[in-house]
Amino acid sequence: MKFHLKKTISLALILGIVSLSYASYQSGGYLPENEVVNTTSIIGLPPSNNSIAFLNDKAISEATFSLDKNSQEYIKAIHDASNDSDIHIADFSKAFGQKLSKEDTPAIYNLLQKAIVDANNAKNIDKDYYKRKRPFIFFDKNPCDLSEDPSSYSYPSGHTTRAWTYGLILTELKPQNAIEILKVANGKGQSRVICGVHWQSDIEAAKMVATINFTILQTNEQFKKDFKNAQKETSKR
């Protein structure tokens, strides 16, 4: 999966999305603070409460709150609510065609862990800017994971940003498995809707944030070096 880097980066510069961050900066990624991607102008406002798009968000979320709590979808949503990145990386193993972990694929693991710091920095700018309430707050319901912070914001989805970032990188490493890999990433995003902590439009915005951030990362020299090291760990499947 190749991206049109020059076109995307030009658009980013025109719209001023490589800019000062409004959220607190987390170090440990590839991008210095002054290169953190600000995608607020790209993802735009979340749907307003009187819009057709929000009616769609509401209908989807209302349906998920009535799901059987013993269903496979709900059980998966509880699993996907984890904040443990090791769990989420391992969940891509079957689709990727080999075991992914700090011990088995250290170069791939390092690449994913560093890239997600940059994605999180970008996502946090949007969350702090738009301050959208989560569905379980709006409907006064319980999320699938009762430890969810009711004061945190919904738009875009952080878990989906992470899953889509992992998916895009792993797809670039092994494009022949792209469909299987992105199915995993997409499923993790949908789990957040089932869990009651995100609207459907949060998920779509998160995919865009992850895609833009991934495109910018491909211009970073250290990312490119780490990517080449990660390629050495990939099997042919």
Active site positions, annotated: 159, 192, 198, 202
CA angle 194–196–197, rounded 5-degree value: 115
- The SS3 call for residue 37 is strand
Q: Which two tokens mark 83?
A: 């904040």
Region of 196 (left: φ > 0; alpha: ψ -120 to 50; beta: rest) is left
Helices 72-80 + 178-194 axis angle, to 10: 90
For residue 18, give every residue at least 6 positions away whose Cβ sits within 8 Å of its Cβ, in sequence order, or none. Answer: 12, 35, 36, 37, 38, 216
Centre a 10 Å sphere on the Cβ of residue 115 and count the other Cβ atoms it contains. 26
Q: Which of these, 112, 99, 128, 97, lies nearest to 21 by C-alpha position?
A: 128
Separation of CA 180 from chain center: 17
Tell me how far apart the alpha carbons of residues 172 and 167 are, in angstroms, rounded to a whole number. 9
DSSP 121: H
Dist CA 71 CA 74 (whole Å): 5
Residue 86: C-alpha distances to residues 30, 72, 106, 148, 214 (Å): 19, 22, 12, 19, 20
